[in-house]
Copies of this chain bind each other. A is one copy, B any other.
Amino acid sequence: MTRRVAVVSDASFYVGPNLCRLLAAGGHDLVVGDPAAGLVDELAALGAAVEAVEGVRDLAEPGSAERLIQAAVERFGRIDSATAFTGRIVVGRFLRSNVDDLLTVLVGCVEAPYFFLRAVVPLLVDQGEGQVLVFTSAAGARPTPGAPLYSSARAGANMLVRNVADEVAAKGVQVNAIGTNFMDFPEFLKANRVTDEESRAKVEAMVPMGRLGTLDELAHFAMPFVDGTSRFTTGQFVAFAGGWA
């Protein structure tokens, strides 16, 4: 029995490592960008053949997506699912912004998924099947106080995913997006200046569900979009943000 092949663009942090573990345990071989220390051994112990590609986690960097996809093709000859992590944030009010801020979020939030989709979708179209999942932000689903340019760029990315899905649905390829916010991981906590219980409570109070989301539950939520069990939904955006969007 052949194992499925899954690409995970960034296995260094955020939900990347968790998703890799679930995929490996669920019968996938993996192509991972910039894996966290020890992760490759862990995945191998779960039965996965793993190809690690270094220096590709910034998908806005021209060539990164191509290197990742090329590595997958050379090692395994095909790709069943491909997951991308994208985004660069700029905070601050619109009235105090400048056009460089805008360019920063457009490159990080729109060009990055564009490069990834442009690299992987043609291959999946040729295969006649395949699943793409792009992690974006729930900020793209509603105006976001304090991050208006970021919110706008994310909205563009969410609609890009839907447009690409429309264009290739007839080829059997699925393209979906999950947009998160208020996830409990070190980079989010740092960006929101969470250093103690009090500062954490302030951030949690912004979430309707009153807590932060865990990477493990996000990985479980993402699985049906990439594990091949469910092949009939495409062009969807789902917010994973505790009711905030």
List B contacts of A235 (CB < 8 A).
239, 243, 245
Looking at A30-38, A115-123, A187-195, A210-218, the stretch in contact with chain B turns out to be: A210-218
Interface assignment of A230: CB less than 8 Å from any CB of chain B: yes
Q: How far is the CA of A170 from the CA of B235 in the complex (A)?
A: 30
Measured between C-beta atoms, what is the minimum distance from A111 to chain B in Å? 25
Are the CB atoms of B233 and A238 closer together than 8 Å? yes
Determine which of B211, B223, B233 lies in contact with A239 in the assembled complex, contact meaning CB atoms within 8 Å: B233
List B contacts of A230 (CB < 8 A).
217-218, 220-221
| Number of copies of this chain that the complex holds | 2
Interface assignment of A135: CB less than 8 Å from any CB of chain B: no
Given the interface pairs A238-B236, A243-B166, the reply to whether A229 lies near B217 with Cβ below 8 Å is yes
Interface assignment of A172: CB less than 8 Å from any CB of chain B: yes
Interface assignment of A224: CB less than 8 Å from any CB of chain B: yes
Measured between C-beta atoms, what is the minimum distance from A243 to chain B in Å? 4
Q: How far is the CA of A235 from the CA of B142 in the complex (A)?
A: 13
Determine which of B172, B209, B224, B229 lies in contact with A232 in the assembled complex, contact meaning CB atoms within 8 Å: B209
Question: What are 26 pairs between A and B in contact, CB < 8 Å?
Answer: A165-B243, A166-B208, A169-B209, A169-B243, A170-B209, A170-B210, A209-B232, A214-B232, A217-B229, A217-B230, A217-B231, A217-B232, A218-B230, A220-B229, A220-B230, A221-B230, A223-B224, A224-B224, A232-B242, A233-B238, A233-B239, A233-B240, A235-B239, A235-B243, A235-B245, A236-B239
